[in-house]
């Protein structure tokens, strides 16, 4: 059989991508007869006959298998629906390499109706974890077509996406409503029925047991998913990559204009909207592309209604471990009032009004970081608003040990909490001139900072507003 194997000099993975449907068997017959034969020999069942992305799987310059994806034309979601590796090449982590490559180059894929074997591989690769003997939490989501979803409640044939799998019944499972005990699960797959004794596992008490387990372990389950997700090598898209630079539109926007019949002017509007939303913290880097696709889709409709929790912005279902809405891309921990005000204020109090002390700039930078603004964007903001290069600021931060490995250190937190701007902002002292206050603050730096503020404000006599500020400070000081 080895004689037939296609060899590649450059190890380049061939990819078939089409906006139309690709017939998987046709490609196999036309180009990879030896793979098709091997599949027939071991009675391998293709899960899906069609795809729109077909990729070769290579090992040591040989084409030893393939995988296929349902690939959204917006280049945003890729859902793995078939994977096959020649038997003699299994055990070489070929599937793992494919998943990692997809994540590093592109985006986190999901998997259509995984078999138990696939879930066990995900566990071995560290992308999923057993929570007890049967229940598995996976950082990579499983997608079940609506027609293959079963439930103990009325379920409307909606496509299901879930992070959980039950090894004993060989089914992806998803809690719809914990309090009511509603749960949805995938229909059994032929492959699993043949290989495991999984057909008669599910009954009422079994489902109740699962719901009970989720009830008792909800915090652990959420934490496990978040930890697993944090370890994935997912490509971090920058704002510029997704929307383009000042003068041009990104590849993604160009494609979306072609695909969704959106005018050029509208595209520019969307570009501007995303920039503003991103800058205010409404969108995370990992949800930039989803947001872009959402805004280009002119009449996004709410189609899934059987979940307990929904996104406050678009009403689509969310899970409590979701960082962002998978439908509209909004950062779910975004607090519109809080975050936006802080950011606007931080941008408004920029440059010209104040003397640009490096300590002042460092404070502004650390504040952006503490507000979970992306590092690149924080640097960009600082460099654009102040007369400083990142290398200078970094030198200052390093020297004082305020910022290490992308995190604010304890020294950095202490620095922030003893900075005059911290007090000026915290007690809303905009009524006094910041520069003057800062000078006074540093001149008296031997004193307790609360005392410094009180002493400074005293000089304004009995202004009512100042008195209020002083009361606030005194309350915190005592």
**Rule CB under 5 A: which residues touch Zn ion?**
311, 313-314, 325, 327-328
What is the distance in angstroms between the CA of the first residue and the CA of the last residue of the chain? 82
Q: Please report how close the Cβ of residue 277 comes to Zn ion at its closest, in angstroms.
A: 12
Measured from the CB atom, is 167 or 283 closer to Zn ion?
283
Measured from the CB atom, is 327 or 415 closer to Zn ion?
327
Q: Please report how close the Cβ of residue 332 comes to Zn ion at its closest, in angstroms.
A: 8
Measured from the CB atom, is 134 or 158 closer to Zn ion?
158
Q: What are the DSSP calls for 237-278, one per residue?
A: --HHHHH--SSS--HHHHHHHHHHT--HHHHHHHHHHHHHHH
Q: Please report how close the Cβ of residue 128 comes to Zn ion at its closest, in angstroms.
A: 25
Helix 449-458, helix 434-443: angle, nearest 10: 130
Q: Please report how close the Cβ of residue 310 comes to Zn ion at its closest, in angstroms.
A: 8
Q: Please report how close the Cβ of residue 341 comes to Zn ion at its closest, in angstroms.
A: 22
Contact 74, 270 (CB under 8 A): no
* Cα dist from 288 to 242, 275, 277, 302, whole Å: 7, 10, 10, 20
**Long-range contacts: 215-221, Cβ < 8 Å, 24+?**
215/178, 217/131, 218/178, 218/320, 220/131, 221/131, 221/137, 221/164, 221/321
Measured from the CB atom, is 257 or 314 closer to Zn ion?
314
Measured from the CB atom, is 16 or 313 closer to Zn ion?
313
Q: Please report how close the Cβ of residue 329 comes to Zn ion at its closest, in angstroms.
A: 7
Q: Please report how close the Cβ of residue 300 comes to Zn ion at its closest, in angstroms.
A: 9
| CA-CA-CA-CA dihedral for 445, 449, 454, 458, to nearest 10 | 20
Measured from the CB atom, is 155 or 313 closer to Zn ion?
313
Q: What are the DSSP calls for 379-440, one per residue?
A: HHHHHHHSS--HHHHHHHHHHHT-EETTEE-HHHHHHHHTSHHHHHHHTT-TTS-HHHHHHH
Measured from the CB atom, is 313 or 427 closer to Zn ion?
313
Helix or strand or coil: residue 86?
Answer: coil
* Cα dist from 473 to 15, 316, 427, 443, 449, whole Å: 64, 44, 7, 20, 10
Separation of alpha carbons 201 and 41, rounded Å: 30
Contact 392, 359 (CB under 8 A): no
Measured from the CB atom, is 55 or 307 closer to Zn ion?
307
Q: Please report how close the Cβ of residue 444 comes to Zn ion at its closest, in angstroms.
A: 49
């Amino acid at each position: 059989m080895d004689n037939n194997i296609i060899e590649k000099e450059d190890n380049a993975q061939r990819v078939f991508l089409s906006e139309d449907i690709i017939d998987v068997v046709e490609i196999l017959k036309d180009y990879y007869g030896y793979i098709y034969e091997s599949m027939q020999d071991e009675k391998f069942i293709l899960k899906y006959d069609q795809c729109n992305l077909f990729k070769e799987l290579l090992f040591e310059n040989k084409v030893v298998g393939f995988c296929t994806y349902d690939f959204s034309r917006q280049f945003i979601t890729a859902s793995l629906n078939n994977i096959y590796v020649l038997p003699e090449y299994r055990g070489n982590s070929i599937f793992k390499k494919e998943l990692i490559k997809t994540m590093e180059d592109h985006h986190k894929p999901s998997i259509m109706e995984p078999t138990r074997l696939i879930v066990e591989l995900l566990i071995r690769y560290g992308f999923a974890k057993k929570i007890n003997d049967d229940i598995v939490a996976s950082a990579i989501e499983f997608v079940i077509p609506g027609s293959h979803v079963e439930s103990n409640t009325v379920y409307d044939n909606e496509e299901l996406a879930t992070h959980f799998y039950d090894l004993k019944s060989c089914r992806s499972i998803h809690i719809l409503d914990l309090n009511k005990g509603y749960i949805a699960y995938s229909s059994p797959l032929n492959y699993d029925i043949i290989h495991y004794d999984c057909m008669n596992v599910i009954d009422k008490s079994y489902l109740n047991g699962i719901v009970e387990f989720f009830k008792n372990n909800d915090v652990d389950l959420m934490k496990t998913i978040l930890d697993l997700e944090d370890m994935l090598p997912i490509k971090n898209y920058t704002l510029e990559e997704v929307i383009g630079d000042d003068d041009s539109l990104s590849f993604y926007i160009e494609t979306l204009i072609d695909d969704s019949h959106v005018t050029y002017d509208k595209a520019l509007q969307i570009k501007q909207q995303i920039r503003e939303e991103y800058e205010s913290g409404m969108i995370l880097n990992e949800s930039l592309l989803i947001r872009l696709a959402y805004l280009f889709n002119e009449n996004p409709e709410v189609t899934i209604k059987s979940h307990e929790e929904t996104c406050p912005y678009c009403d689509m279902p969310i899970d409590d471990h979701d960082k962002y809405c998978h439908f509209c891309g909004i950062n779910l921990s975004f607090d519109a009032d809080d975050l936006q005000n802080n950011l606007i204020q931080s941008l408004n109090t920029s440059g010209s009004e104040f003397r640009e002390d490096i300590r002042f700039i460092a404070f502004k930078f650390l504040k952006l970081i503490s507000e979970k603004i992306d590092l690149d964007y924080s640097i960009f903001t600082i460099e654009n608003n102040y007369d400083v290069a990142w290398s200078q600021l970094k030198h200052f931060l390093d020297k004082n040990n305020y910022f290490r490995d992308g995190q604010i250190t304890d020294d950095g937190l202490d620095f922030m909490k003893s900075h005059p701007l911290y007090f000026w902002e915290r007690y809303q002292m905009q009524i006094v001139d910041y520069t003057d206050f800062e000078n006074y603050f540093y001149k008296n730096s031997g004193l307790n900072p609360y005392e410094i503020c009180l002493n400074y404000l005293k000089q304004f006599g009995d202004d009512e507003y100042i008195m209020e500020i002083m009361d606030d400070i005194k309350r915190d000081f005592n």
